[in-house]
């Protein structure tokens, strides 16, 4: 949506605050309309509509085989969701939802302002290391669930989040989205399928 204004000597004191209030109202509406919660596996997940897509507004915490809590501690699952290898991630979203493709991640990132700004705008307003919390402008509330390895080691909780996509890369890996505490970006990185990452499901 594009707003146009005509110059007025009263613009700064009268029209501009009204325009900001109106734009804020339109933004809030477009980022939440039709976002009904989803019940799955005994839990209820918040959802959010961002542009044309409806996303889960929380990392998935469904206790599937081969999924793990960071450091094998249930309190980490409760806060950050579970970590999944790619094969499990491909089949664990609830009915009428699916693991997003890299192209669907691109749609989200482009809508919120591009990869150079998406990290800040998608990060939750708490739960990140130090003063690196985001603005969460669209209610996506990305949390840094860290990474798990096939040897049982875990790393980076509170500092970064990686979310699987369903798309294979040209290097025989799988595309994922990475958001780190120290950067504003939301970038794609290719990983082997054995790593354990977070999941965000998107509606069919």
On the question of pLDDT at 21 being above 60, the answer is: no
142 neighbors 123 (Cβ within 8 angstroms): yes
Q: Check: pTM over 0.85? Answer yes or no.
A: no
Report the Cα 5 to chain-centroid distance in Å.
34
53-73: per-residue pLDDT in tens?
999 999 999 999 999 999 999
29-50: per-residue pLDDT in tens?
345 544 799 999 999 999 999 9
For residue 100, give the DSSP letter. P
On the question of pLDDT at 25 being above 80, the answer is: no
| Model pLDDT, residue 110 | 96
On the question of pLDDT at 129 being above 80, the answer is: yes
Side-chain-facing half-sphere of 97: CA atoms under 13 Å: 18
Q: Which two tokens stand for residue 28?
A: 């809030």
Region 103-107: mean pLDDT is 96
Tell me the C-alpha distance between 176 and 173, whole Å. 9
| Model pLDDT, residue 135 | 94
94-64-134 Cα angle (round to 5): 70
73-94: per-residue pLDDT in tens?
999 999 999 999 999 999 999 9
- Percentage of the chain with pLDDT > 70? 83
| Model pLDDT, residue 35 | 75
| Model pLDDT, residue 170 | 75
| Model pLDDT, residue 166 | 97
């Amino acid at each position: 949506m594009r707003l146009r204004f005509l110059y007025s000597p009263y613009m700064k004191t009268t029209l501009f605050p009204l325009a900001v209030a109106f734009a804020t109202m339109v933004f809030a509406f477009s980022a939440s309309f039709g976002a009904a919660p989803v019940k799955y596996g005994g839990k209820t997940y918040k959802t959010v509509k961002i542009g044309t897509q409806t996303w889960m507004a929380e990392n998935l915490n469904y206790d599937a085989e081969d999924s793990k809590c960071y450091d094998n501690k249930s309190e980490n699952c409760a806060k950050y969701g579970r970590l999944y290898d790619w094969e499990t991630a491909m089949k664990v979203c609830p009915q009428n939802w699916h693991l997003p493709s890299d192209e669907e991640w691109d749609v989200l990132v482009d809508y919120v302002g591009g990869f150079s700004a998406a990290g800040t705008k998608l990060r939750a307003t708490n739960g990140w290391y130090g003063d690196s919390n985001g603005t969460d402008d669209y209610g996506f509330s990305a949390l840094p669930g860290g990474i798990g390895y096939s040897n049982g080691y875990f790393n980076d909780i509170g500092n970064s989040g990686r979310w699987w996509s369903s798309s294979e890369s040209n290097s025989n890996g799988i595309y994922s989205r990475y958001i780190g505490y120290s950067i504003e970006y939301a970038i794609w990185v290719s990983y082997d399928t054995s790593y354990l990452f977070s999941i965000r499901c998107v509606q069919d």
